[in-house]
Amino acid sequence: MFQSPGVKIEVINTGTELLLGNTLNTHGAWFGRELFQLGLRISRQTTVPDGDAIREALAESLVRADAVIVTGGLGPTSDDLTREITAEVLGLELITDEAALRSLEGFFTSRGRTMVAANLKQALCPVGADILPNANGTAPGIYVPPRLNGRSNAAVFLLPGPPRELYPMFHAEVPPRLRALSGVEKINEALVLKFTGVGESDFHHGIDARLSEIPGLEYGYCAHIGEVDLRLIGDAEAIREAREITLAHFEPHLISENGASLEKTVVRLLKQRGMTLATAESCTGGLISNRITNVPGSSEVFTHGYVTYANEAKRAMLGVPAADLETHGAVSEQVARAMAEGALRESGAGIAVAVTGIAGPGGGTEEKPVGTAWCGLAVKGGETRTFKFYHPRGRKDFKQSVSQSALEAVRRRLKEL
C-alpha cells in the first residue's frame, strides 16, 4: 500500500542520546512532514550512535537510496565524525573551505567568544561538495551531489542535529536540490479522516478491498485509544473517491477531516452554536476538562468544571441527592444523571457532561466490575440522556477511554442541536 517515491530518500540520525532514551527523536516525524509537502517520502529512517557507527549505515544507504540525509555529528568534539567518515566512504578528500572558515570565525566574534582549535575541522568540506551555511550554529552543512567521483549514485546531505540549526538550513538549502534530483513537480494531496467508536478491523472489513482498487491511492490506518485515523494520499480524484467510499460506511463516526482532535471538534461545535459546556467528573478526575482546555480559545465555551471525586463532593458541588448515592451507588445511571443536571444548573452552561465510574485497580464488584462507567448528558431545555460504558483497561487508559466516549456523546448531541 505504501508506494516507494520517485526518488528514494533515506534519513540517518546520529546520536547516542537518541538510543539511550535521553532524547526523543523528533527528526523522523519532522522530515516526514517536510518531505511529504515536497511530494516525497522517507523510504527508511535509521538511528545510530555517535562516532564510527555512521560508517556502516551510510554505506548501506548509499546502495539503496537516491538521496541520503544525515543529521548530527558535525560538531567539534571527538565523536563528531559524520563529516570525516562521509568523505572517507565516498573517497573524497577533505579541504578547508575558506568561506566556511570565515563565517565560523564570524560566528564566534559576533558572540564575543573565542574559537578553539577543535572548531577548525568544522570548516572542512569534501572536494567538489557544497557548504550549506549555518546561521544559527557553528556547524555548516554539506551537500555532496550524486556521481561526484563515481563512487556513489546517491546525493548526500549532511545537516546539523539541533532543530534550531537544522530547520532553517533544511528550508533554505534542501528542497531546491531535492526537486532537481526528483524532478517532482506535482505534489500529492493528503487527507486525514479521524474516527471514533469503530475499530481498525471494521475499516479493513468494510472498505479495504475497495480502497485498494483506487489507482494511485496510498492509505493507512493509525489506531489510538478510542480513535482510528485513516490517512489518504494521492491526487485529488483518488482522494475524493476514497473519501466518498469511507464516509458512506463510517460518516456517523467521523470526528474530523483535517486531523483535528475530538476535543477541538467539540469546541468548534460549541462556538458555532454559541453554547458553553460544563463538566462534572468523578472517575476521569479532570481529564475531560483538561482535554477541552488544551484547545486554544476554549475559554469562550468552557467555564465551569466540577471534579467530584468523593461522594461528599457530588452532594456539595452538584447537589446529587444522598438517596441516589445510597440506593444506587456513586457509579449508577441515577447519579450520572444528577451530576449532569447539577452541573448544568450550577454553571448555567448550555450543555453539561458527567461521568462516574470504576477506574480500578480496586473498587470493582461482580455487578459493577472495574471498567464500568456511566455518563450523563444534560442540555438546557432538553431531556437528559445517559450512557453506560465498559472499558476494562488500566487506570490511565480507562480514563482516556471514558473521556473519549463522553466527548463523543457531547459531539453527537451538539450535531443534533
Q: Does 106 bind a copy of itself (CB under 8 A)?
A: no
- Residue of the chain from 182, 265, 289, 386 that contacts a copy of itself (CB under 8 A): 289
Cell representation of residue 251: 460518516
Interface with a copy of itself includes 367 (CB under 8 A)? Answer: no
Site for a copy of itself in 235-274 (CB under 8 A): 259
Could you give the CA distance from residue 103 to residue 126 in angstroms, rounded to a whole number? 18
Stretch that binds a copy of itself, among 235-243, 320-328, 380-388, 393-401 (CB under 8 A): 393-401
Dist CA 325 CA 340 (whole Å) = 14
- Interface region with a copy of itself, contact rule CB under 8 A, candidates 93-101, 178-186, 374-382, 391-399: 391-399
Contact status: 197 vs a copy of itself (CB under 8 A): no
State in angstroms the smallest separation of the CB of 81 from a copy of itself: 10
Q: Which grid coordinates belong to 174?
A: 534542501
- Alpha carbon 273 to its chain centroid, in Å, reads 29
Question: For a copy of itself, how many residues bind (rule: CB under 8 A)?
Answer: 121
Cα distances (Å, whole numbers) of residue 112 to 14, 102, 109, 115, 246: 30, 15, 5, 10, 60
Strand-pairing partners, residue 386, are 376
Cα 23 to Cα 400: distance, rounded to the nearest angstrom: 26
- CB nearer to a copy of itself: give 71 or 129: 71
Q: Which of 6, 32, 319, 382 binds a copy of itself (CB under 8 A)?
A: 32
Considering only 57, 125, 335, 351, the residue that binds a copy of itself (CB under 8 A) is: 57
Q: Is 405 in the site for a copy of itself (CB under 8 A)?
A: no
Is residue 59 part of the contact set for a copy of itself (CB under 8 A)? Answer: no
The helix (run of H) or strand (run of E) holding residue 115 is: none
Q: Is 102 in the site for a copy of itself (CB under 8 A)?
A: no
Distance of CA 237 to the CA centre of its chain: 26
How wide is the angle at C-alpha 227 spanned by C-alphas 401 and 350, nearest 5°? 65
> In the set 147, 151, 395, 415, which binds a copy of itself (CB under 8 A)?
395
Residues 6+ apart with CB under 8 A from 65: 8, 9, 10, 43, 44, 154
Kindly state whether residue 392 participates in binding a copy of itself, applying the rule CB under 8 A.
Answer: yes
